[in-house]
Amino acid sequence: MSSEPGLPRYSVGELNQAIGSLLERGFAPRFLLEATVSRPQLKRGHLWLTLVDEQASISGVVWASQLSKLSHEPREGDGVLVVGKLNFWASRASLCVQILDLRPSLSAVLRQFERVRDLLEPEGLLDPSRKRSLPAMPAAIALLTSSPSSALADMLRTAQERWPATQVHVVPIPVQGPVEAQIRQRLAEVIAAAAGLGIEAIVLARGGGSREDLAVFDGEALARDLAICPLPVVTGLGHEDDTTVADLVADYRAATPTAAIVALLPDRVSLSLALTQQRQVLQQLLRHRLQQEQLRLQAHRERLQQLHPLTLLQQLRQQLQHRLDVLQALSPQRLLERGFALVHQEDGRLLRSVAQVQEGERLQLRLADGRIDTVVQQVSPTSHD
């Protein structure tokens, strides 16, 4: 074949090296790749797999030195978000994605969430009626979360500010990656020790992160453990908009880790104000009751005074004196003292009319201080003309 003027000439090795150089210069050293895992298999300690979507595929590898550092172990059909870079072997013009890290993609996480939710819901484990009320003033609580973390620091500060009387037992747990078994183990340890430590509630918390980071809290086994937990469970996982299967099973779902502490522990400032108001109300009621009792006792005292024998005797004396005064006022003697006189005939009859007496008849005049004997000289009836 004759050479074409102006066209570069390569050997196979030179061509592959040129392609490799072009990829190194023109492609990002690291990138994110959303794909589905196909045919994962271990070869000589390395994990080889195919990354596919609806239109294309590319090989991927996790070198043995990186495999133990992965936060998620990929399985057939998993949707994943890969942090990777391109590997190009010039000797055979082979292109592969070297996987530095990977995690479940959001779509895969949501499918897992829906699968477990749909599995547990017919069993009644998500029924709101089975949720228990939280203790009003717990003596002690267990706090299962990552330690150290900013979320833990916020929760401890909030607990101290709201209700320092509650003892908080911090139980460190891993919160990302395939760590469901470890979380279940720590949960079982807390339940076993709860009676001896006086623990009355459990908080399961994780701060921040994406929805993919919360995938471990969608596990079926963990959800069943939370459902049969003998203590009330409060969850504070991720952000306000994030909902996991653990949230659905828990007795109370808080929007954030700090909100979980707020829901579980009373506010001493508000409670102190409420107690002060109640004390004032009780004092007012007590004063009112005392006033009523004092009035009642005063009425009884007055009643007893009225029923005292000396009082009754005095009242009887007053009544008798009143009757005597009336009798004396109506007594003929009083009339005589006022200048009136009683006239009796000789036979002692009281003279009431001039028609009863005749001239020459002897009469007796009774005055207030004595008697006068007299003789009638003349009778003059009163004229009614």
Q: How confident is the model over 194-224, as pLDDT tens digits? A: 999 999 999 999 988 888 888 899 999 999 9
| b/e 78-117 (16+ beta carbons within 10 angstroms → b) | bbbbbebebbbebeeeeebbebeebbbbeebbbbbbeebb
Sorting pLDDT into bands at 50, 70 and 90, what band is 385?
A: low
Q: What tokens does 124 get?
A: 């009644």
Instruction: Tell me how far the alpha carbon of residue 334 is from its chain's centroid.
Output: 90
Q: How confident is the model over 154-206, as pLDDT tens digits? A: 999 999 999 999 999 999 999 877 899 999 999 999 999 999 999 999 999 99
Give the global pTM.
Answer: 0.60
Rounded mean pLDDT of the chain?
Answer: 89
Query: 344: which strand partners?
Result: 350, 364
Q: How confident is the model over 339-365, as pLDDT tens digits? A: 788 888 888 888 888 888 888 888 888
pLDDT of amino acid 117: 94
pLDDT of amino acid 384: 62
Sorting pLDDT into bands at 50, 70 and 90, what band is 55?
A: confident
CB atoms within 10 A of CB 361: 14
| Contact status, residue 199 vs residue 193, Cβ threshold 8 Å | yes
For the chain, what are the domain ranges?
12-104, 109-266, 271-321, 333-375
Q: From residue 257, give the alpha-carbon distance in Å to each of 224, 263, 275.
A: 21, 10, 28
Write the CATH number of the domain with boundaries 12-104: 2.40.50.140
Q: 3-state SS of 295-313?
A: HHHHHHHHHHHHHCHHHHH
| Contact status, residue 49 vs residue 112, Cβ threshold 8 Å | no
Radius of gyration of the chain (CA): 56
Determine how β-strand 46-52 pairs with β-strand 79-89.
unpaired
Query: Can you tell me the mean pLDDT for 247-270?
Result: 95
For 356, residues 6+ apart whose C-beta sits below 8 A from its C-beta are 345, 349
CATH value of 109-266 in 3.40.30.10, 1.20.1270.10, 3.40.50.1860, 3.40.50.2300 = 3.40.50.2300
- Whether residue 1 is predicted with pLDDT greater than 50 in this model: the reply is no
